[in-house]
Amino acid sequence: MNINLTLIGQAIAFAIFVWFCVKFVWPPITAAMEARQKKIADGLSAADRASLDLELAQEKASKELHKAKQEAAVLIDQANKRAAQIVEASKDDARKEGDKLIEQARAEIQQERVQARDALRKEVAVLAIAGAEKILETSVDAKAHSEMLDKLAAEL
């Protein structure tokens, strides 16, 4: 346990070790550790930001969905209305057409009746004349008696 030059040797060794550590050991390792800490911090903040973004996106998506649903409902409503209108309109058209056709048919019937009556009337006149001729055994001057005949025809 003698105190001797070992003391100084030890102090010198210590100084050299400290110098080496300050120069070559401490800086690279702390730099790496700090870089990693920064990386981790960045990663964490990025993750935070991403989750915030996700939340916003989800909110936006649900809003859009809601809006789309509303729009779709409006469209369906409109389409339904339109369809009802169309059906109504076509019903109307059909009714009108039908009425028109009925009207036409009636007019034709009327016309044919008038024609038939006219023809009948003429025939009755001829028959009447023929009958009268037979009765009188003479010919009747159709022209002379036309007035009378017309009256007769009108009575028929």
Residue ranges with strand state E in the chain:
none
Q: Is 138 in the site for another protein (CB under 8 A)?
A: no
Cβ–Cβ under 8 Å, residues 140 and 132: yes
CB atoms within 10 A of CB 125: 17
Q: Is 33 in the site for another protein (CB under 8 A)?
A: yes
- Close Cβ partners of 132 (under 8 Å, ≥ 6 residues apart): 140
Least distance (Å) between residue 51 CB and another protein: 24
Residue 32 identity? A
- Close Cβ partners of 122 (under 8 Å, ≥ 6 residues apart): 153
Q: Is 126 in the site for another protein (CB under 8 A)?
A: no
Identity of the residue, 11 or 44, whose beta carbon is nearer to another protein in the bound complex: 11
Q: Is 115 in the site for another protein (CB under 8 A)?
A: no
CA separation for the pair 25, 147 (Å, rounded): 149
Q: Is 3 in the site for another protein (CB under 8 A)?
A: yes
Identity of the residue, 44 or 73, whose beta carbon is nearer to another protein in the bound complex: 44
Q: Is 18 in the site for another protein (CB under 8 A)?
A: yes
Q: Is 86 in the site for another protein (CB under 8 A)?
A: no
Interface with another protein (CB under 8 A): 1-11, 13-15, 17-18, 20-22, 24-33, 35-36, 39
